[in-house]
Amino acid sequence: MLKVILYTSDAKLENVEIDILIDKARVKNKRLGITGFLVCHLNGFIQLIEGEEEAIDGLMNEISADDRHSNVRIKESSFAEQRKFPDWEMGLMTISDTEPYYNQSEGESLVEIFCKNVNGTLAEIA
């Protein structure tokens, strides 16, 4: 089983800092078998990470201890048979409105909404 964590953070980083961190993150994620997606917005980030439980717990500890983050909140933690973002060592996109990411219909998890929104944006720009 794979562990999936969706968390938010109020970190505010410049674009150039995000570019540097994502390059490093992709190398490390590849080594650890972690995939996922990082969504940036004006006031912070929403990120989904998925992989073996030990790798995900280890990365989440590092993220929580990273000074660039502030107010890290785990919104959802679950287990899954299949990866949601198998082709992404860490995808990256910027959004202006976070509201659709929290607009839950009954029985829908935040992970499901996150995937729906990210995949919708990816389809738009394809």
Ligand X SMILES: Cc1cc2nc3c(=O)[nH]c(=O)nc-3n(C[C@H](O)[C@H](O)[C@H](O)COP(=O)(O)O)c2cc1C
Q: Is 117 in the site for ligand X (CB under 6 A)?
A: no
**φ/ψ bin of 51: left (φ > 0), alpha (ψ from -120 to 50), beta (otherwise):** left
The gap from C-alpha 4 to its chain's centroid, in whole angstroms, comes to 10
> Between 40 and 79, how does the x/- string for binding to ligand X read (CB under 6 A)?
-----x-x-x---------x--xx--x-xx----------
Q: Whose Cβ is closer to ligand X: residue 87's or residue 106's?
A: 87
Q: Which residues of 75-90 are buried (b: 16+ CB within 10 A; e: fewer)?
A: beeeeeeebbbeebbb
Query: Closest approach of Cβ 101 to ligand X, in Å?
Result: 15
Q: Which of 4, 6, 38, 48 binds ligand X (CB under 6 A)?
A: 38
Interacting positions 87-106 with ligand X (CB under 6 A): 90
Binding site for ligand X (CB under 6 A): 11, 21, 25, 28-29, 38, 45, 47, 49, 59, 62-63, 66, 68-69, 90
